[in-house]
Amino acid sequence: MEDFTAQELIHEFVAEALESLREVPRLLDHFRQDATQIEALHAAFRAIHSIKGTAACLGLDAYKLFAHGLENLLAQIRDGKTPLSETLWEILIEGIDLLEGMLGSAGEGRIRQHLGPAEEALLARLPWAVCSASSPGASRAGSEVAAQAIQEVSEEIGSPGAVPHPVSFPSQQPANLSAAACSAPPSQPVPAAFQ
Protein backbone atom coordinates (compact mmCIF):
# COMPACT_ATOMS: atom_id res chain seq x y z
CA MET A 1 0.00 0.00 0.00
CA GLU A 2 1.31 3.41 -0.95
CA ASP A 3 1.86 6.00 1.79
CA PHE A 4 0.66 9.49 1.05
CA THR A 5 1.82 12.70 2.64
CA ALA A 6 -0.75 15.07 4.08
CA GLN A 7 -0.05 17.46 1.22
CA GLU A 8 -0.67 14.71 -1.36
CA LEU A 9 -3.93 13.72 0.33
CA ILE A 10 -5.12 17.32 0.35
CA HIS A 11 -4.13 17.76 -3.28
CA GLU A 12 -6.09 14.62 -4.23
CA PHE A 13 -9.07 15.78 -2.16
CA VAL A 14 -9.05 19.19 -3.84
CA ALA A 15 -8.90 17.69 -7.33
CA GLU A 16 -11.81 15.33 -6.67
CA ALA A 17 -13.85 17.92 -4.78
CA LEU A 18 -13.49 20.51 -7.53
CA GLU A 19 -14.50 17.97 -10.15
CA SER A 20 -17.69 17.01 -8.30
CA LEU A 21 -18.43 20.58 -7.21
CA ARG A 22 -18.43 21.78 -10.82
CA GLU A 23 -21.40 19.50 -11.52
CA VAL A 24 -23.52 20.84 -8.66
CA PRO A 25 -24.88 24.00 -10.37
CA ARG A 26 -25.98 21.95 -13.38
CA LEU A 27 -27.67 19.40 -11.11
CA LEU A 28 -29.43 22.09 -9.10
CA ASP A 29 -30.56 23.85 -12.25
CA HIS A 30 -31.96 20.57 -13.56
CA PHE A 31 -33.97 20.18 -10.34
CA ARG A 32 -34.97 23.85 -10.38
CA GLN A 33 -36.37 23.47 -13.91
CA ASP A 34 -38.21 20.25 -13.05
CA ALA A 35 -38.84 19.50 -9.37
CA THR A 36 -39.74 15.89 -10.24
CA GLN A 37 -36.05 15.31 -11.04
CA ILE A 38 -35.26 14.67 -7.38
CA GLU A 39 -32.25 12.49 -8.25
CA ALA A 40 -30.44 15.60 -9.48
CA LEU A 41 -30.96 17.20 -6.05
CA HIS A 42 -29.80 14.00 -4.34
CA ALA A 43 -26.64 13.98 -6.47
CA ALA A 44 -25.91 17.62 -5.58
CA PHE A 45 -26.43 16.82 -1.89
CA ARG A 46 -24.10 13.78 -2.09
CA ALA A 47 -21.36 15.86 -3.73
CA ILE A 48 -21.43 18.48 -0.95
CA HIS A 49 -21.79 15.76 1.71
CA SER A 50 -18.68 14.00 0.38
CA ILE A 51 -16.69 17.22 0.38
CA LYS A 52 -17.75 17.89 3.98
CA GLY A 53 -16.88 14.37 5.11
CA THR A 54 -13.49 14.25 3.45
CA ALA A 55 -12.63 17.72 4.74
CA ALA A 56 -13.49 16.49 8.25
CA CYS A 57 -11.27 13.42 7.84
CA LEU A 58 -8.38 15.61 6.73
CA GLY A 59 -8.85 18.07 9.58
CA LEU A 60 -9.87 20.92 7.27
CA ASP A 61 -12.34 22.41 9.70
CA ALA A 62 -13.15 25.63 7.84
CA TYR A 63 -13.95 23.63 4.69
CA LYS A 64 -16.05 21.18 6.70
CA LEU A 65 -17.99 24.00 8.36
CA PHE A 66 -18.77 25.79 5.12
CA ALA A 67 -19.73 22.61 3.26
CA HIS A 68 -21.91 21.61 6.23
CA GLY A 69 -23.87 24.86 5.93
CA LEU A 70 -24.51 24.21 2.23
CA GLU A 71 -25.33 20.57 2.93
CA ASN A 72 -27.91 21.55 5.56
CA LEU A 73 -29.59 23.93 3.13
CA LEU A 74 -29.73 21.19 0.50
CA ALA A 75 -31.16 18.80 3.11
CA GLN A 76 -33.93 21.31 3.86
CA ILE A 77 -34.80 21.41 0.17
CA ARG A 78 -34.44 17.65 -0.31
CA ASP A 79 -36.68 16.92 2.69
CA GLY A 80 -39.39 19.23 1.37
CA LYS A 81 -39.08 21.66 4.30
CA THR A 82 -38.04 24.54 2.06
CA PRO A 83 -38.60 25.11 -1.67
CA LEU A 84 -35.69 25.97 -3.94
CA SER A 85 -36.58 29.64 -4.27
CA GLU A 86 -34.68 32.11 -6.42
CA THR A 87 -33.01 33.47 -3.27
CA LEU A 88 -31.87 30.02 -2.15
CA TRP A 89 -30.72 29.22 -5.69
CA GLU A 90 -28.55 32.36 -5.67
CA ILE A 91 -27.17 31.57 -2.21
CA LEU A 92 -26.30 28.02 -3.26
CA ILE A 93 -24.52 29.22 -6.41
CA GLU A 94 -22.66 31.86 -4.39
CA GLY A 95 -21.75 29.21 -1.81
CA ILE A 96 -20.49 26.85 -4.48
CA ASP A 97 -18.34 29.64 -5.92
CA LEU A 98 -16.94 30.44 -2.47
CA LEU A 99 -16.25 26.77 -1.73
CA GLU A 100 -14.57 26.42 -5.11
CA GLY A 101 -12.33 29.39 -4.23
CA MET A 102 -11.50 27.89 -0.85
CA LEU A 103 -10.60 24.58 -2.51
CA GLY A 104 -8.52 26.33 -5.16
CA SER A 105 -6.50 28.04 -2.42
CA ALA A 106 -5.99 24.72 -0.68
CA GLY A 107 -4.80 23.20 -3.95
CA GLU A 108 -2.18 25.94 -4.12
CA GLY A 109 -1.01 25.11 -0.60
CA ARG A 110 -2.88 27.91 1.16
CA ILE A 111 -5.00 25.98 3.63
CA ARG A 112 -7.64 28.14 5.29
CA GLN A 113 -7.89 27.63 9.04
CA HIS A 114 -10.92 29.91 9.38
CA LEU A 115 -13.76 31.11 7.26
CA GLY A 116 -13.32 34.46 5.59
CA PRO A 117 -15.82 37.32 5.81
CA ALA A 118 -17.64 36.25 2.63
CA GLU A 119 -18.14 32.68 3.88
CA GLU A 120 -19.24 33.89 7.32
CA ALA A 121 -21.69 36.31 5.73
CA LEU A 122 -23.22 33.60 3.57
CA LEU A 123 -23.66 31.24 6.53
CA ALA A 124 -25.18 34.07 8.56
CA ARG A 125 -27.74 34.68 5.78
CA LEU A 126 -28.87 31.05 5.56
CA PRO A 127 -31.49 31.03 8.35
CA TRP A 128 -33.19 34.15 7.02
CA ALA A 129 -33.07 32.93 3.45
CA VAL A 130 -34.68 29.65 4.51
CA CYS A 131 -37.25 31.59 6.48
CA SER A 132 -38.19 33.79 3.55
CA ALA A 133 -38.40 30.82 1.16
CA SER A 134 -40.50 28.61 3.40
CA SER A 135 -44.21 28.65 3.74
CA PRO A 136 -45.46 30.56 6.79
CA GLY A 137 -46.06 27.38 8.75
CA ALA A 138 -42.63 25.99 8.02
CA SER A 139 -40.58 29.19 8.24
CA ARG A 140 -39.75 29.14 11.92
CA ALA A 141 -38.92 25.45 12.01
CA GLY A 142 -36.85 25.55 8.82
CA SER A 143 -34.83 28.57 9.82
CA GLU A 144 -34.28 27.22 13.33
CA VAL A 145 -32.98 23.93 11.93
CA ALA A 146 -30.55 25.76 9.61
CA ALA A 147 -29.39 28.08 12.38
CA GLN A 148 -28.96 25.24 14.86
CA ALA A 149 -26.93 23.15 12.42
CA ILE A 150 -24.61 26.06 11.67
CA GLN A 151 -24.19 26.80 15.38
CA GLU A 152 -23.50 23.12 16.19
CA VAL A 153 -20.80 22.83 13.56
CA SER A 154 -19.08 26.04 14.65
CA GLU A 155 -19.10 24.86 18.27
CA GLU A 156 -17.92 21.39 17.22
CA ILE A 157 -14.77 22.77 15.63
CA GLY A 158 -14.12 25.03 18.60
CA SER A 159 -14.88 28.20 16.70
CA PRO A 160 -18.08 29.61 18.17
CA GLY A 161 -17.30 32.87 16.40
CA ALA A 162 -17.59 31.20 13.00
CA VAL A 163 -21.12 32.52 12.84
CA PRO A 164 -20.84 36.25 13.53
CA HIS A 165 -23.84 36.45 15.87
CA PRO A 166 -25.69 33.81 17.84
CA VAL A 167 -28.97 33.20 16.13
CA SER A 168 -32.13 33.64 18.17
CA PHE A 169 -35.75 33.66 17.13
CA PRO A 170 -38.79 35.39 18.51
CA SER A 171 -40.97 33.27 20.77
CA GLN A 172 -43.94 33.69 18.44
CA GLN A 173 -44.01 33.86 14.69
CA PRO A 174 -45.95 36.80 13.21
CA ALA A 175 -49.36 35.86 11.84
CA ASN A 176 -48.56 37.43 8.48
CA LEU A 177 -45.07 36.17 7.78
CA SER A 178 -43.19 37.91 5.00
CA ALA A 179 -39.56 38.02 3.94
CA ALA A 180 -39.21 41.30 5.84
CA ALA A 181 -40.57 39.69 9.01
CA CYS A 182 -37.96 36.94 8.76
CA SER A 183 -35.07 39.14 7.72
CA ALA A 184 -33.70 39.43 11.25
CA PRO A 185 -34.78 38.37 14.70
CA PRO A 186 -36.05 41.38 16.63
CA SER A 187 -33.52 40.81 19.40
CA GLN A 188 -30.53 41.12 17.04
CA PRO A 189 -30.41 43.26 13.94
CA VAL A 190 -28.31 41.89 11.13
CA PRO A 191 -25.29 44.15 10.60
CA ALA A 192 -25.17 45.89 7.22
CA ALA A 193 -22.08 43.87 6.28
CA PHE A 194 -24.15 40.68 6.43
CA GLN A 195 -27.23 41.87 4.54
User: At a CB cut-off of 8 Å and minimum separation 6, what does 78 contact?
Assistant: 38, 41, 42, 45
pTM of the model: 0.73
- The predicted pLDDT at position 171 comes to 31
CATH number 1.20.120.160 given to 6-194: yes
* CA–CA dist 181, 130 (Å, integer): 12
pLDDT tens per residue across span 71-104: 999 999 999 888 999 999 999 999 999 999 999 9
Could you say which DSSP state residue 122 is in?
A: H
Q: What is the pLDDT of residue 6?
A: 83
Domain ranges of the chain: 6-194
On whether the CB atoms of residues 139 and 173 are closer than 8 A, the answer is: yes
What is the structure's pLDDT at 131? 79
pLDDT tens for the chain, 195 residues long, are: 566 788 889 999 999 999 999 999 999 999 999 999 999 999 999 999 999 999 999 999 999 999 999 999 999 999 988 899 999 999 999 999 999 999 999 999 999 999 999 999 999 988 878 877 765 544 455 555 555 655 555 555 444 444 443 333 333 332 222 333 344 443 333 333 333
Q: What is the dihedral of CA 52, 131, 43, 94, to 10 degrees?
A: -70
How far, in Å, CA of 16 to CA of 181, rounded?
41
For position 133, what pLDDT does the model report?
Answer: 76
